[in-house]
Amino acid sequence: MLVLSQETTLPTLLLLGLLSFCCLAELPRFEHAAKPDGSLGFLVVGDWGRKGLYNQSHVALQMGIIGEKLDVDFVISTGDNFYDDGLTGVTDPAFHQSFSDIYIAPSLQKQWYTVLGNHDYRGNVEAQLSPTLTNMDSRWLCLRSFILNAGPEMAEIFFVDTTPFVTKYFTNPEEHVYDWKGILPRKNYIQNLLLEVEWGLRESAAKWKIVVGHHTIKSAGNHGNTDELNMLLLPILEAYDVDFYINGHDHCLEHISSTESRIQFLTSGGGSKAWKNNIKPWNPREMKFYYDGQGFMSVEITQTDVGVKFYDVFGNELHKWTTSKLFSTSM
Ranges of beta strands (E only) in the chain are 29-33, 40-45, 74-77, 111-114, 140-142, 146-151, 155-160, 208-213, 244-247, 253-257, 264-268, 287-291, 295-301, 305-312, 317-324, 328-330
> Omega into 152 within 30° of 0, i.e. cis?
yes
Beta bridge partners of 247: 267
Q: At residue 141, what are phi and psi to the nearest 5 degrees?
A: -135, 115
Whether 73 has a binding-site annotation, put simply, is: no
The one catalytic residue in 215, 223, 255, 319 is: 223
Q: Are 114 and 79 in contact (CB under 8 A)?
A: yes
Whether 176 has a binding-site annotation, put simply, is: no
- What's the one-letter identity of residue 166? V
Q: How far is CA 272 from CA 142, 268, 317, in A?
A: 20, 11, 18
Q: What residues contact 102, with CB distance under 8 A and at least 6 apart?
A: 51, 52, 56, 57, 60
Our answer to whether residue 223 is catalytic in this structure is yes
Whether 113 has a binding-site annotation, put simply, is: no
Whether 291 has a binding-site annotation, put simply, is: no
323: left (phi over 0), alpha (psi -120 to 50) or beta: beta
Beta bridge partners of 261: none
Q: Which of 285, 219, 318, 212 minimizes the C-alpha distance to 309?
A: 318
Whether 250 has a binding-site annotation, put simply, is: no
> Omega into 84 within 30° of 0, i.e. cis?
yes
Beta strands 305-312 and 317-324, pairing class: antiparallel
Whether 292 has a binding-site annotation, put simply, is: no
Binding site membership: which residues? 47, 80, 83, 118, 214, 249, 251
Annotated binding site for Fe cation: 47, 80, 83, 118, 214, 249, 251
By annotation, the residues acting in catalysis are 223
